[in-house]
Structure 1
Amino acid sequence: MNRNAIIAGRYRLEHKVGRGAMGVVWQARDERLDRTVAVKQLLPDNSPDDAPFRSIVRAMREARVAARLKHPHAVTVYDVVEQDGTPYLIMEFLSSRPLTELLADGGPLPAGRVAELGAQIASALAAAHEDGILHRDVTPNNILITEDGQAKIADFGLSHATGEGTMTGDGLVVGTPAYLSPEVADGEEPGYPSDVFSLGSTLYTVLEGAPPFGTDGNQIALLKRVARGEIIAPRSTGPLTDVVLRLLRRDPRERPDMAEAERMLAAVADGRPAILSGTKRLPAPTRRSWLPFAIAGGVVAAGGVLAGILLFDDGPPDAAAPVAAPLPSAAKPVCEARYEVANRWPGGSEIRVSVRNSQDTRLTGWEVSWTLPPGTRIANLWNGSLAQDGDRVRVSEVGWNAVLPVGGTTTFGFIATTEDDGGAAPVATCRSS
């Protein structure tokens, strides 16, 4: 297709403005309505038999579905046309740059800005999900940032419509491998939770400078890491850590829906706690079932790696008293620490610790401490300050997460390496610092 060519009798191509795996984008003139538009020439796959024809049919169908969505943070689809057996998508023209370019030029963005952009994209995706529309390929390359700093998401459903995907031993996986959810990488059909995970992967990338599963020229190896849910521990997510890690839950049932993701991101963008008292709380990860858990008198023990929890205003209880004794009403804990084994592999685990203000006033500092089991070491701590004296460990706030409102939470995490999966579980305490 050349410059000045006319598509569907009304769209005159002016010049190319981009090219991706799914097609070529032109700036064009709608001569009937006298306005500038973007024309995407969709490229069908090169499969044998009648697959290219079926690919065109899918592209037309999915594009028409996407055209139903009208949202300020989604690129508007005006029309879907076909010429000489090739489908064309007619969209609003935006003077914009994809997030991938912004990252390449300036590096990772600050957490507050990422939360703002993430809330905008989540609002568009929530509206799409409400209307029964899946995106299937939420990536930094499909998020456009306009000249006035607003985010818009493009290409709803087109990765599926055009046959774009990654071939594995089990078949075709739809989407960009580095941003897929584990269930899709494992061969399952994408669903709304898959879009949630991909948004989390996108936000992680914009914050950290690389996707949560890293980069690998070997797509099969990358897909295996994705399917196992082996994310790289974040270091720069700051106040967004709680939100991003919830979006990246391996089990799709444990992720928030897109509307809840929007609310949490908007809260961080406004400087408010993301997880408020009364907000829908997510269940503990099912992967915790890999470790034996026991509950007795308010103390949770995770056999062999870490345990948690209850936390006293004036330090630990008297040594003569049973650790699991119920607390009197006057000894209401200042804060509570909840440990989650987010992932586990031979010789180590990824641990996430949620700290919650359980008092009736604002908490202005916190510290969680415990004794390490024999042979256990801590590596790659994020969102906390580590102090260690022999096998005694203390983790405290790092400034931005020091102040917690009533019912507010924050999260820190680390990698625990161990030589022995057995042994007694430690008991941790949380107190004000």
Structure 2
Amino acid sequence: MTEAGQLIAGRYRLVDRIGQGAMGVVWRARDERLDRVVAVKQLGYDPSGGGQGGPRALREARLTARLRHPHAITVHDVVEHDGAPFLVMEYLPSRSLADVLLERETLPADQVARIGEQVASALAAAHAEGIVHRDVTPGNVLLAPDDVTKIADFGISRATGEGAVTGGGFIAGTPAYLAPEVAGGAEAGFPADVFSLGATLYRALEGTPPFGTEDNTIVLLRRIAQDDVIPPKHTGPLAEVLGRLLQRDPVQRPAMAEVQELFEAVTGGRPLPPPRVTPQVGTRLLQVRKPRRRLVLACAAGALLLALGVLIGTVLVPDSTPAAAPAPVPPTTAPPSTTPVTTSSTPADLGCAADYRVTNSWPGGYQVEVTVRNDRAVGLLGWRVYWTLPRGHHITGLWNGTFTVDGSTVTVDNADWNAKLDANGSTSFGLTALTGQGSGSARPELTCKTL
């Protein structure tokens, strides 16, 4: 039985118990050789049945010691005492996000975004090393007094390529923050960490996990595996980022390095980049087939992209030089869907103009970027763009703004963070839409008004 005052490995004097992670008790201790305060984690719980410590504990030591990052708790040493392994780690005077939320229920959006940026940077470094955390939760996010956040407890991490040692029926992770695929029994991968980070920050922003709370673990796991996320009360760029992280389909979630970029955009007050393309599935299908079947397979790949969710699309590439407004073209002579289509609003005395550009299209859908320009000699504090949606078209997603559809009229209003435009300044928003059996090459006339 480990107690306060005990000397571990002839060097680390236990002072007091400060917490418990996924696999053991954590103590504040003093390194008597270097005269510094450290955290010592006594690795005891092993669901693999390997005894105290066991293969899972040893693997934790190896994995955690590999990672060096300013926003991840550093491991200094791995020692044995009375046949059991102990991790010696950096001691960070801090409180867990879970403890803070017990008192405050929610945190301001700007603080949540800063936490997300720092944790995502550490997890991106871990993923680059092939390490999946597998238990990103409020309890493992440590908040220091100087606004520094660190992710702790890679205790149930798994390096890509290492065999799993979890016993039958054991689920690695905290149920309320598991990704749907993990709740359904699948192995946790990098996208599962993305979802769990989104769920953790959703809890901090909304006051509840994305699937609510439930004392019955089986009921909660079934809800996560089958139901949709509770619609958030908040709006704005942070809520949009969390929505991208909490996609049910792992393929549609951004990579952790992209998650870091999204939070950097939020904390820096910049417009969010559009959702990233995830073309691996379609590309792989094209590469393994014979050239003579390329056309058929291209259509199949397009249908597959649509089935995965039109938001996959292709990365929007901003055009720094707005194209001139083209002359009206009859629908029968519209360019093929592979050619970007641009049309512009007529500014007149409305104070702003909007350029509509089809950046990608596929059978049954397309993606658009709209650039809004302030044509006035003074700044503006709000804008609105509207146009007539072609018959049979249906908008399925929009970023960097909010939209409503009344009959066939689409109205897009600025988001809070991109409403203000300096003289001759510009911003953009994007959308994805379904066309049924139609084409995405239509050229609607846009009207832009200042508010």
Same fold, judged at TM 0.5 (above): yes
Relative contact order: is structure 1 or structure 2 higher (C-alpha 8 Å, sep ≥ 6)? 1
**Counterparts of 2:175 and 2:242 in 1: how far apart (Å)?**
18
SS of equivalent to 1:16: strand
Compared with structure 1, are the counterparts of its residues 411 and 228 closer, same or farther at alpha carbon in structure 2 (3 Å cutoff)?
farther
Aligned to 1:247: 245
Aligned to 2:141: 143
Aligned to 2:17: 16
Instruction: State yes or no: 1:233 paired with 2:231.
Output: yes
Report if aligned partners of 1:177, 1:219 keep a CA contact under 8 Å in 2: yes
Aligned to 2:307: 289
Aligned to 1:343: none
Report if aligned partners of 2:341, 2:358 keep a CA contact under 8 Å in 1: no
Report if aligned partners of 2:198, 2:246 keep a CA contact under 8 Å in 1: yes
Shift of 1:39: 1.0
Aligned to 2:126: 128
Shift of 1:104: 2.0
Structural mapping, 1:10-159, within 5 Å: 10-45=11-46, 51-53=49-51, 56-158=54-156
Fraction of identical pairs, as percent: 48
Shift of 1:27: 0.9
**Counterparts of 1:17 and 1:393 in 2: how far apart (Å)?**
56
Aligned to 2:448: 432
Report if aligned partners of 1:366, 1:402 keep a CA contact under 8 Å in 2: no
Report if aligned partners of 1:115, 1:269 keep a CA contact under 8 Å in 2: yes
Shift of 1:103: 1.8
Report if aligned partners of 1:166, 1:172 keep a CA contact under 8 Å in 2: yes
Alignment equivalent of 1:208, drawn from 206, 209, 228: 206
Per-residue deviation, residues 258-284 of structure 1 (Å, max 9, x unmatched): 1111111111111111206xx844569
Paired residue type of 1:38? A
Q: How many residues align?
A: 377
Per-residue deviation, residues 312-331 of structure 1 (Å, max 9, x unmatched): xx9xxx9xx87996798664
Structural mapping, 1:297-376, within 5 Å: 331=344, 334-335=355-356, 356-359=369-372, 364-367=382-385
Structure 2, unpaired ranges of 5+: 280-301, 311-324, 346-353, 360-365, 392-398
Report if aligned partners of 2:344, 2:446 keep a CA contact under 8 Å in 1: no
Compared with structure 1, are the counterparts of its residues 34 and 198 closer, same or farther at alpha carbon in structure 2 (3 Å cutoff)?
same
Shift of 1:11: 0.7
Report if aligned partners of 2:344, 2:356 keep a CA contact under 8 Å in 1: no
Report if aligned partners of 1:16, 1:24 keep a CA contact under 8 Å in 2: yes
Structural mapping, 1:154-193, within 5 Å: 154-158=152-156, 171-193=169-191
Report if aligned partners of 2:77, 2:88 keep a CA contact under 8 Å in 1: yes
Paired residue type of 2:265? A
TM-score normalised according to structure 1 size: 0.71
Shift of 1:91: 0.7
Report if aligned partners of 1:354, 1:410 keep a CA contact under 8 Å in 2: yes
**Counterparts of 2:96 and 2:402 in 1: how far apart (Å)?**
35
**Counterparts of 1:135 and 1:237 in 2: how far apart (Å)?**
29
Structure 1, unpaired ranges of 5+: 293-313, 339-352, 374-381, 413-421
Shift of 1:62: 2.0
**Counterparts of 1:388 and 1:133 in 2: how far apart (Å)?**
44
Report if aligned partners of 1:337, 1:368 keep a CA contact under 8 Å in 2: no
Report if aligned partners of 2:262, 2:273 keep a CA contact under 8 Å in 1: yes
Report if aligned partners of 1:60, 1:80 keep a CA contact under 8 Å in 2: no
Compared with structure 1, are the counterparts of its residues 9 and 410 closer, same or farther at alpha carbon in structure 2 (3 Å cutoff)?
farther
Compared with structure 1, are the counterparts of its residues 82 and 281 closer, same or farther at alpha carbon in structure 2 (3 Å cutoff)?
same
Aligned to 2:319: none
Compared with structure 1, are the counterparts of its residues 400 and 166 closer, same or farther at alpha carbon in structure 2 (3 Å cutoff)?
farther
**Counterparts of 1:166 and 1:178 in 2: how far apart (Å)?**
19
SS of equivalent to 1:53: coil
Aligned to 1:311: none
Aligned to 1:402: 419
Paired residue type of 1:357? V
Question: Pairwise CA RMSD of aligned residues?
Answer: 4.6
TM-score normalised according to structure 2 size: 0.68
**Counterparts of 1:286 and 1:407 in 2: how far apart (Å)?**
32
SS of equivalent to 1:156: coil
Compared with structure 1, are the counterparts of its residues 112 and 7 closer, same or farther at alpha carbon in structure 2 (3 Å cutoff)?
same
Compared with structure 1, are the counterparts of its residues 11 and 79 closer, same or farther at alpha carbon in structure 2 (3 Å cutoff)?
same
**Counterparts of 2:90 and 2:303 in 1: how far apart (Å)?**
42
Aligned to 1:306: none
Alignment equivalent of 2:218, drawn from 200, 215, 220: 220
Compared with structure 1, are the counterparts of its residues 107 and 335 closer, same or farther at alpha carbon in structure 2 (3 Å cutoff)?
farther
Paired residue type of 1:43? G
Report if aligned partners of 2:69, 2:122 keep a CA contact under 8 Å in 1: yes
Paired residue type of 2:307? S
Report if aligned partners of 1:251, 1:286 keep a CA contact under 8 Å in 2: no
